[in-house]
Amino acid sequence: MKLTILGCYSATPRTLNNTTSQVLEINNHMFLIDCGEGTQVQLRKHKIKFNRIKHIFISHLHGDHFFGLIGLISTFRLLTREADLHIYGPKGIKEVTIMQLKLADSWTNYNLIFHELTSDSSELVFEDEKVEVFTIPLNHRVYTNGFLFKEKEGDRKLNIGAVEDANINVAYYRKLTQGFDVVNEAGKTIKNESVTKAGLKPKSYAFCSDTMYKEDIVPIIKNVDVLYHESTFLEKHAHLGPKTKHSTAKEAATIAKLADVGTLLLGHYSTRYDNLNAFKDEAQEVFDHVELCEDGKTFDF
Amino acid sequence: MKLTILGCYSATPRTLNNTTSQVLEINNHMFLIDCGEGTQVQLRKHKIKFNRIKHIFISHLHGDHFFGLIGLISTFRLLTREADLHIYGPKGIKEVTIMQLKLADSWTNYNLIFHELTSDSSELVFEDEKVEVFTIPLNHRVYTNGFLFKEKEGDRKLNIGAVEDANINVAYYRKLTQGFDVVNEAGKTIKNESVTKAGLKPKSYAFCSDTMYKEDIVPIIKNVDVLYHESTFLEKHAHLGPKTKHSTAKEAATIAKLADVGTLLLGHYSTRYDNLNAFKDEAQEVFDHVELCEDGKTFDF
């Protein structure tokens, strides 16, 4: 699981600061999460192949998470993309995208498939054999979802020596990796656990931006390997949180602690702060494993 | 008159190439012309004060000329702008902008005034004491206008020695600079030209992008000091012109020659070309005074 931070600042893109966008590489998927203005240039800068992006998740329709989407969709067309593109985001995302394409007398030469979100409860929005994506309802000024990306339990690994000793026909090996007990050549039932071991531990990543402190999300993100939680402010500006519906670094760390996550990533910093280390210091008073997002940084988990 | 090229490439923004946007400084105005994605970052990069931009002219609603507008409007709000902002562009520009603001549950804390254009004839769209702006109807895949920026004839300059010799009351000096004849202290009519001289020659700039070769524009842009004319292609790709409704460098130069302009600026290059000098060489076979736009380049005229 690899995460590339294309942008992690709030409000407006600047010469050296990009607004929110991330690429999560998990189990051969390249999921694009949020798409602030300039995301397509950030993708080029980090040499991420446009064609590998098949699913885009938009948390909410504020510009710093969304204004780069129409440009990316248009560029995909100019690059003669053919693969389907799925877009998950709040209701309205389809209408405004199509209006912009129509005004340009343009359309896509690939299927553009919108999955408009309206629920206030966590729901499964994507699933294949290996990965599931759930929404994480957040509390922001407009309808907003975070997203939880979870690998499914992988196949069990055969203990080849034990399998051979147990005299099991090769035709049953697939059943074994799928976790079933099987009958051996002698007609005896062989318990799965006696000849297999657990596969790789499935990874999980929760993206939570933008939101004010919301403990309701803790059960949804419980025990994830990595939690990105916005931290727009430091505690000294905590009074701005409820008004703007953003969080502080300390609040992000409190959520991380309650959910017992592996690592907390901070981002969505207000541009009023020059020294990002203060965010890390503040969060680490509550929770140990904290990392700071920075534009262009990659994390391998 | 100073022109700053924020972006001059066609199609999509790239790591080193920005799409169309220019700032024209003329007679204390800062006119923003087109607004591709990332324009707000280019404005910051070139240290152009956001507050000085009061009028934005959008030629057409293709993304490479337009997708940066909503971000700029939003950023103006975040920067607590109060001054009115006038936007001139094709019909539809208001609806799509307002829809995006509504989806973000946002609005502007300044007046956002749309001037939607629908005419196929050149029309006056802005005028104050010193400057006029006219549309230049172009021929592109969607409804498109170029813009002609013209200083008005300035005040005449007093020839102070002559004025004093002519025994004219100071109260009439303003009338003289405005070009009127006046009566002197002795009751004699004094011809304006005998005591004044012409003011500074008014400057003019014509912006023509995007368009295929269109001779109809020649009377509108006749004798302008500076013509920006798109040159997406070189002649070797001239066959793409009618299909995509773009021009070649040679066609741009032919328009410049027919209109007898002072200087021709080329831009909107297709990213298929590595060497921009070929554009200049091709144009100069037809017209001498050719300059190449490049991102970040400024021209003082």
Size of interface A-B (CB pairs under 8 A): 101
pLDDT at position B200, please? 87
Residue B106: which residues within 8 A CB-CB, separation 6 or more? A62, B74, B77
- The domain segmentation of chain A, as residue ranges, is 2-154+200-300, 157-197
- Taking the C-alpha atoms of residue A191 and residue A182, their distance in angstroms, rounded to an integer, is 7
Give the model confidence (pLDDT) of B204-251 as tens digits: 999 999 999 999 999 999 999 999 999 999 999 999 999 999 999 999
Q: Once rounded to an integer, what is the mean pLDDT over residues B103-116?
A: 94
Q: Once rounded to an integer, what is the mean pLDDT over residues B29-47?
A: 97
Q: Once rounded to an integer, what is the mean pLDDT over residues A243-250?
A: 97
pLDDT band at B32 (very low <50, low <70, confident <90, very high): very high
pLDDT at position A107, please? 87
Stronger pLDDT, B274 or A6, i.e. the higher one: A6
Q: Do B96 and A100 touch (CB under 8 A)?
A: yes
pLDDT band at A182 (very low <50, low <70, confident <90, very high): very high
pLDDT band at B24 (very low <50, low <70, confident <90, very high): very high
Checking if the pLDDT of A140 tops 90, the result is yes
Give the model confidence (pLDDT) of A67-97 as tens digits: 999 999 999 999 999 999 999 999 999 999 9
Q: Residue B167 in contact with residue B185, Cβ under 8 Å?
A: yes
How confident is the prediction for chain B on average, in pLDDT? Answer: 96
Q: Once rounded to an integer, what is the mean pLDDT over residues A149-174?
A: 94
Q: Do B141 and A67 touch (CB under 8 A)?
A: no
Does residue B64 have a known ligand-binding role?
A: yes
pLDDT at position A200, please? 87
- Tell me how many degrees the CA angle A253-A255-A258 measures, rounded to the nearest 5: 110
Checking if the pLDDT of B270 tops 90, the result is yes
- Name the percent of chain B lying above pLDDT 70: 100
**If you write DSSP's letter for every residue of B250-270 in order, what string do you get?**
HHHHHHHHHHT-SEEEEE-B-
Of B103, B186, B250, the residue nearest A95 (C-alpha): B103
Smallest CA–CA distance from B60 into chain A, residue: A104
Of B254, B278, B285, B262, the residue nearest B206 (C-alpha): B262
Of A15, A41, A63, the CB nearest to B71: A63
Q: Residue A176 in contact with residue A211, Cβ under 8 Å?
A: no
pLDDT at position A110, please? 97
Contacts of B61 in chain A (CB under 8 A): 100, 103-104
Cis peptide before B210 (omega within 30 of 0): yes
| B64 classed as catalytic | yes
Checking if the pLDDT of B107 tops 90, the result is no
Give the model confidence (pLDDT) of B149-199 as tens digits: 999 988 999 999 999 999 999 999 999 999 999 999 999 999 999 999 998
Cis peptide before A210 (omega within 30 of 0): yes
pLDDT band at B289 (very low <50, low <70, confident <90, very high): very high
B2-154+200-300: CATH, from 3.90.420.10, 3.30.450.190, 3.40.50.970, 3.60.15.10: 3.60.15.10
- Taking the C-alpha atoms of residue A107 and residue B16, their distance in angstroms, rounded to an integer, is 26
Q: How many CB atoms lie within 10 A of CB B221?
A: 25
pLDDT band at A239 (very low <50, low <70, confident <90, very high): very high
Checking if the pLDDT of A154 tops 90, the result is no
Q: Do B96 and A92 touch (CB under 8 A)?
A: no
Contacts of A38 in chain B (CB under 8 A): 13, 37-38, 41
- Taking the C-alpha atoms of residue A192 and residue A146, their distance in angstroms, rounded to an integer, is 38
Q: Do B96 and A99 touch (CB under 8 A)?
A: yes
Distances (CA, A) of A245 to A63, A136, A140, A230, A278: 16, 16, 5, 11, 21
Q: Locate tokens 């979100």: which residue?
A: A117
**Residue B215 CA to chain centroid, in angstroms?**
19
| Environment class of B1 (CB within 10 Å of its CB; exposed 0-12, middle 13-18, buried 19+) | middle
Q: Once rounded to an integer, what is the mean pLDDT over residues B254-269?
A: 98
Which of B9, B10, B12 has the highest number of chain A CBs within 10 A, making it the mutation to test binding with A? Answer: B12
Residue A83: which residues within 8 A CB-CB, separation 6 or more? A51, A54, A110
Q: Locate tokens 């109060």: which residue?
A: B82
Q: Residue B183 in contact with residue B142, Cβ under 8 Å?
A: no
pLDDT at position B38, please? 97
Contacts of B92 in chain A (CB under 8 A): 99, 103
Q: Residue B148 in contact with residue B136, Cβ under 8 Å?
A: yes
Interface check for B96 against chain A (CB to CB < 8 A): the answer is: yes
Phi and psi of A120, rounded to 5°? -100, 5
Phi and psi of B145, rounded to 5°? -125, 140
The ipTM assigned to this model is 0.90
Q: Once rounded to an integer, what is the mean pLDDT over residues B274-282?
A: 96
